Amino acid sequence: MKKDFWNDRVVVITGATSGIGKALYEELAKVPCELVLVARRATEITEPKNKHEGAIIHRVACDLADPTSVLDATEWIQKKVSKVDVLFNNAGITAHGRFDSLSMDVYRKTFATNFFGPIQFIRGLLSLLLAAKGNIVTTSTVSALYGVPGRAAYSASKSALHAALESLRIENLESGLGVSLVCVPYTDTALRTSGLDASGGVLSEAPAKGKRKSAKEVAHVLMSVAKDKEARLVTFNLSGKFLEWMRFFSPKFLEKILYKKLYEDFKPH
């Protein structure tokens, strides 16, 4: 993998404490770039073993669900750096439960982290991104492409984020700003043990069945997407591409597949 692209870049990563965000941080710390690592528990982010001597690392505490925290974080970043070449909009939360069992509080919390927080954060850094003709790369999910059973709040929040960022992309067609949405497959992260259940408690579910990508594998795909200003909606496995196409060509068939595959996640109790 060529490192030249990342030399002297200013890169912001949200959700940098664990999972995909941590993997991005560890890979990029190997090259001489400036990293702004954003997370609720930013103090827990440790120095990577293979850190390049030219890499500069900043840690910024930020709770995306808290507007005041987001404002403080973006104002701090604005004072610290003069541009943002790449924003990895990675932080997020999942929520599981039937439509008729999800509390309204779960919807609000999910949208606070997955939609309102990222939108406010991007708005706060937009002038820095435009100055660099930078790229916003959002870690998303195929659940944003169609309403997935048992995931109403999660699907809705990610779908809303897609629409808002697509609007941003079109409004900036002549500014040089890149806006990419990457629907990652099942990945080996703590998403299912840190999300919300139907009543708003902490979700505790076994990892998804089947083969999962490693956080490092996904990080490499996101880094590749960051180099391509023409990238828009990216799905990179068969299940993602299947859902992307079938939502247009045969939604009825798609719904039958989703019903059968995910029935255990939403069946009546």
The catalytic residues are 154
* CA dist., res. 18 & res. 88, Å (int): 14
Beta-bridged to residue 184, according to DSSP, are 141
* CA dist., res. 68 & res. 146, Å (int): 32
* CA dist., res. 162 & res. 158, Å (int): 6
- Locate 142 and state its tokens: 């195929």
- Burial degree of 232 (CB within 10 A; 0-12, 13-18, 19+): middle
Number of helices and strands (H, E) in the chain?
A: 8, 7
Residue 216's identity, in one-letter code, is K
